[in-house]
Amino acid sequence: MLGARSGLSTSWINLATLHYVRMFKFLNLQPEVFGIDINDLSLRIVRLEKKRKGFNLVSFGEAEIKPGIVKEGVIQDQEALAKIIRFAFSTVKGKKLSTKYIIACLPEEKSFAQVIQMPKMTMEELQSSVPFEAENYIPLSIDKVYWDFQIINSHEDKENLEHLDLLVSMMPRSIVDAYVNCFKKAGLIPFVLEVESQAIVRALLNSGEGAAPIIFIDFGQTKTSFIIFAGNSIRFTSSISFSSRHLTEAISDTLGISFYEAEKLKIKYGLITEQKKNYNITKIVSPVLNELIDQIKKYMNFYYGHTSHGYFSSDNKIGKIILCGGGANLQGLPDFLYKELKIPVELGNPLINIVVPKRFQVNPLFSQKISSFTTALGLAIRGASEEA
């Protein structure tokens, strides 16, 4: 979605980092790059090696982030976060990291994305014209954001089109600069930056996937993100504060038990129909999940409404929903959503394009939390490919 037609453009990176990018391109070299995913409460690292039949997992790691260091995607304490990054870097499982170059994600909830229509013009003309048009759609002045755009027309007869559909994406400069500075404090060099939705789609999308639009829903620790993908492009993204924690809190409040005990019940029973004792977890959490379903329907209606106006250039119905993130592992969640939405729902497989050595398959840090590594894996795929 963001970048020089693929990912985040170098205009999002400071001049020092840009020097490294240009140097490698000039020398036609591809440095080793690993992926690093940061959210409010955790940090995950993955490095992959590109092989003939996909990617091999080489290194991975995880570290907790104390509440308050990162809040709603905004870094509050750069020194503390840099210390955690250095710790995670030095304690990865598998092969020791020998590179300082990273591909990192920026917080989806702080980005702005808008589909706009522009007259047909050259790329150079678009570069100078898009900022003036984009400023009509964002709550900040254009000089306070980094921005980029991607042409997303999927019409077969592009030559006869009278306009271009552009997905314009923006991020406050203060957010981007804070992440770049924090990585520098940790001794790392950002080679590529992109918003997390791109990494999620890259990790979960099968290269042989059909053309029908797909909704990706990422259930994170503090938020849920929605991504609509159609016509080989991300068309819409949004985030809400809902998370699996809300389900645990509902169980805790209803049954009068601790959060820890409620979390154990949620994991053990999920949304399965046969549950013991005098409580029903499904009944308790259904009102909370119904709020989520209302949000999904709202975004689906938004998508269909804009396809009818030609903005998304797709006449296809949404083919399926793919779930990811730690909260997606709730037992029975795909069936629950399917019954309410009447759209096939499946749990995403972030290893669909990756070969995992046997020694990693038995590691509980990775095997039991694989959905939580989705974004980091998507970043690492790009880092190991020729795209970066």
Residue-wise pLDDT tens digits, 245-279: 899 999 999 999 999 999 998 988 888 765 555 56
Mean pLDDT of the region 76-105? 94
Instruction: Give the Cα separation of 329 and 345 in Å (integer).
Output: 13
Is 224 in contact with 216 (CB distance < 8 Å)?
A: no
pLDDT confidence of 161, banded at 50, 70, 90? low
Strands 34-38 and 42-51: antiparallel
Instruction: Give the Cα separation of 364 and 125 in Å (integer).
Output: 52
Interval 298-309: pLDDT, tens: 988 888 876 654
Phi then psi dihedrals of residue 197, to 5 deg: -60, -35
Instruction: Give the Cα separation of 182 and 75 in Å (integer).
Output: 9
**Range with the lowest mean pLDDT among 19-33, 208-222, 357-371?**
19-33
pLDDT given for residue 236 in this prediction: 80
Provide the β-strand partners of residue 102: 34, 190
Residue 108's alpha-carbon distances to 172, 180, 196, 365, in angstroms, are 12, 16, 6, 25
Mean pLDDT of the region 40-56? 90
Classify each residue of 196-212 as buried b or exposed e, where b means 16 or more C-beta atoms within 10 Å of its C-beta. bbbbbbbbbbeeeeeee
* C-alpha 114 chain-centroid distance: 17
Instruction: Give the Cα separation of 117 and 268 in Å (integer).
Output: 49
- Residue 385 structure tokens: 């490919």
Per-residue DSSP letters for 134-176?
Answer: HTTSSSS-GGGEEEEEEE----S-GGG-SEEEEEEEEEEHHHH
